[in-house]
Each structure stands twice: as structure tokens, then as C-alpha cells.
Amino acid sequence: MYLKASDEHDHHSVVLRQAETPGMDYYGFKVDSKATLDELAKAVSGFGCKVESIPAGEHRATGERVRFPAPTGHHIELYAEKKQVGNGIPLRNPDPWPEGLKGMAGMARRIASFPLLFTTVAPVAVKRALPVGAPLSSRNPASHFMNSRQPSGVK
């Protein structure tokens, strides 16, 4: 059974299989390219570890992998290619101030980390006399904090 978390773009990150005893077959790590995979396989082999090549397709939607033993007896597998199936969430974070919003949506944002924001940003803002934001009420939870948009170029 191939599983992935809701925020992952790869086809899967966990493979479950039926076995006679509980346990884990290996830890797998994705590397950035085939060149890096080849370089790491050579380096691990140079340390004296036995490196095994596993062909693409042995796991669904996964490219070639290399496997080697860790000193603990576990196995480590590295791979560079896995089919991207997406999840509906973009690969990059959206602009914090999307253009074209109307009403309150265009004027303010609620921030869930008010204490952190207040202690790290507010003293700088007060020193420079810039209105970064204000609590909406003294009785609201910490997540009710209005962040005001500043003109571009303000540092």
C-alpha cells in the first residue's frame, strides 16, 4: 500500500506491506538529481559499505534507488526520481498580499502568532514609528491581531 501526506507532491512517501513480523525495511531519502545519487553511491562505497542498485519501477512511480546498510543494521535507500502527482497546493507560497481583494480581506490579516510577532517585530516598528499592527481587543485570543500593509520601500 502506497501512502502520502496531504501536503506532499510525490506519488508516495510510505510503503506498507504485509509481513510475518513488525518492523521497517529501510529509511528512504530523496536526493536532488541522478548525478547526486551516483555521487553518493560512489562515496558510500568508498567508505567500505556494500551498495546495491535497485532498478526503476521496483516501487511504483519511483526511479532507480541505491541501498546500503547503516551501522545499526537498518538499510538506507536513496533515490532521485519519483512521479509527481500533486495535491492541489502550489509549490510556492502565495503572495501574502494578493492583489484585487475587496473589503476587509484587502485591509487586514489575522496572524496566529501574536506573542511571537509582538516580541520580535513590534519593538523594531515602535523604534521606527511604523504602525505594524494592533490587537483588535484586549479580550480577543492572541490569534486576533490585525497586520496592516505598509507602503513598499519602507524598511
pLDDT over 90 for what percent of the chain?
A: 41
Q: What is the pLDDT of residue 40?
A: 95
Q: Over 90: is that where the pLDDT of 115 sits? A: no
Q: Over 80: is that where the pLDDT of 70 sits? A: yes
Please provide the distance, in angstroms rounded to a whole number, between the alpha carbons at the two ends of the chain: 51
Query: All 3 cell numbers of residue 153?
Result: 520601500
112-135 mean pLDDT = 43
Helix %, strand %, coil % of the chain (to 5): 20, 20, 60
**Tens of pLDDT, residues 31-68:** 999 999 999 999 999 999 999 999 999 989 999 999 99
Tell me what the pLDDT averaged over the chain comes to. 74
User: What is the Cα 70 distance to its own chain's centre?
Assistant: 25
- 140 or 92: which leads in pLDDT: 92
**What pLDDT band is residue 100 in, cutting at 50, 70 and 90?**
low
Q: Looking at 24-38, 111-125, 140-154, which range is the least confident one?
A: 111-125
Q: Over 50: is that where the pLDDT of 135 sits? A: no
How many CB atoms sit inside 10 A of residue 149's CB?
12
Query: All 3 cell numbers of residue 132?
Result: 505594524
